[in-house]
Structure 1
Amino acid sequence: MSDAFGRAIRDHHRGERTEPLLHRDGGDTTEHPIEAFYFSEFDPDADDGWLTSWLRGPLVDLGAGTGRHALYFQERFETVAIEPSAALVETMRERGVDDAREGDMFALRETFERDRFRSALSNGTQLGLAGSMCGLSEFLGDLSFVTTPNATAVLDSYDPNHPATRELIGYRHDPTPGLADRVMFFEYEGESNPILRIRLFSPDRLREAAIGTGWEVADVARGGDENEYHYRAALRKR
């Protein structure tokens, strides 16, 4: 399968990228900001340390990208970083991530044993690849299986209820309150990734999907300034 996205980021890391990574939806095209999104240093004190306050080890970093968070947390407790992109796993290892593995965050039961982790992090809105409310509930149930009874998790999404979300490339309206879609693909050096359909869930929809999975939404943190349409949700076991 094509991995234009992962290759572009790996080439950037190695200083070998000569073309932009493009973000496309039909005729709409933007350049994906690789340096800002994947290579800026993680600041544990951002938002008064909100993110770090919710995470304990062992930690599983789901869709870990370049290991931006894993590099910080592995110095404090066991951290396992998984990514479906082989090129990004290579990048993480080259950057010093101790335990970077190729893996699918939507196949957790097949990958890890019960109660393996004390907390989980999914940062990058890849939660939307669950595809539906049923898919989101199934993912949360699988995440519950591989985490301890006192576990916590931090997940993120764009809020369809916020007006600014409509300006995202690939945005698709849904008449159902609290739901929307993004449809897009990445292109690099003439190679395109498969088209992505990303479901967007409001915090209330996430709360609804969590019912019966063992999780509850304990807190929601909004992005600052012009990024309020993005949120992180902290979950804990009931």
Structure 2
Amino acid sequence: MPDPFGRAVRDHHEGTRESPLVQRDGAETFEHPIEAFYFGEFDPEEDPWLAEALDGPLVDLGCGAGRHALAFQERFETVATDVSEHLVAVTEDRGVEDARVADMFALRESFPRDRFESALAIGTQVSLSGSMAGLRAFLNDLSAVTTYGATAVIDSYDPANVDPEEMLGYRERPERGLAHRVFHFEYEGEVGETLLFCLFGPERLREATVGTDWWLADTRSDEEAVHYRARLEKR
């Protein structure tokens, strides 16, 4: 399967990237800021809300270039996962001690029950669950590989506050608190698969937890309340 995103991040890490990584939706394009998004240093001391929500063993789902895993492995056991072999190679090269190729939407196939005390999925990749039903299925799978009393931190864009003109690939939906986002990546002539995101606001996330072992304990938003992070706790 083509992986222009993973290739571009790996080339950037190795100092061989000469072309931009582009997000495309039809005729609209946006140059993805690799350095800013994936290689900036993360210091848990500067983000106590996030740091205090997590404990080990931790699973970092969709770890990118390993920015968070590098910091948290200094505190407790951290397993970094990504579906991209290129990204896992980058995280290993950067010093992540336990990095694995794994699909975050097939967790039961990758890990035993009760394996982790906490989970982290920062980068809005949980939105790739594609629907409310998909989000609920993800939460149930995450429950299977985490312990009683576990915590999870995920993020999303809140459709109630998104400016459609400012977000590439944005698609409105009639339902309150839901929207789609559709685009693909291109790099050096390679075209990735079309990505379908289901963006969900905090209240829709709370609704998705009903019938699962999770409850929405807290949220934190940026100044415009467009992007937010959510802390989930497992009953």
CA distance in 1, matches of 2:210, 2:51: 25
Deviation at 1:46, TM superposition (A): 3.4
Alignment check: 8 A CA contact 1:63 1:84 kept: yes
DSSP 3-state at the match of 1:138: helix
User: One-letter code of the match for 1:194?
Assistant: E
Q: Which structure 2 residues correspond to residues 67-86 of structure 1 after superposition, within 5 A? A: 67-86=66-85
1:22 matched to which residue of 2?
Answer: 22
Distance 2:15 2:141 in 1: 38
> Is 2:171 the counterpart of 1:172?
yes
| TM-score, normalization by structure 1 | 0.96
Task: Tell me which residue corresponds to 2:105.
Answer: 106
Name the CA shift for 1:70/1:127 in 2 (closer, same or farther; >3 Å): same
Matched pairs, number: 235
SS in 1 for 2:215: strand
Structure 2 letter corresponding to 1:59: L
Q: Whole-Å Cα distance in 1 between the matches of residues 57 and 43 of structure 2?
A: 20
Would the aligned equivalents of 1:24 and 1:30 in 2 still touch at CA under 8 Å?
yes
Find the aligned partners of 1:163 and 1:121 in 2 and give their Cα distance.
24
Aligned-partner residue type, residue 15 of structure 1: G
- How far, CA to CA, are the matches of 2:165 and 2:220 in structure 1? 20
User: For the residues of structure 1 that align with 2:164 and 2:136, how far apart are their CA atoms?
Assistant: 23
Partner of residue 136, structure 1 = 135
- State the 1:150 CA deviation: 1.0
Superposed displacement of residue 232, structure 1: 0.3
Q: How far 1:166 moved relative to its partner?
A: 5.3
Say which SS state the counterpart of residue 135 (structure 1) adopts: helix
* RMSD of aligned alpha carbons: 1.0
- C-alpha separation in 2, matches of 1:46 and 1:131: 32
Are the equivalent residues in 2 in contact too, given 1:158–1:165 (CA < 8 A)?
A: no
CA distance in 2 between counterparts of 1:137 and 1:124 reads: 18
Q: What is the aligned partner in structure 2 of residue 6 from structure 1? A: 6
Cα deviation, residue 58, structure 1: 0.2
Give the TM-score taking structure 2 as reference length.
0.98
Residue 213 of structure 1 aligns with which residue?
212
C-alpha contact (below 8 Å) 1:179/1:199 kept by paired residues: yes
Q: Which residue of 2 aligns with 1:127?
A: 126
CA distance in 2, matches of 1:171, 1:159: 12
Structure 1 spans left out of the alignment, 5+ residues: none
Structure 2 unpaired stretches of 5+: none
Identity of aligned residues (%): 62
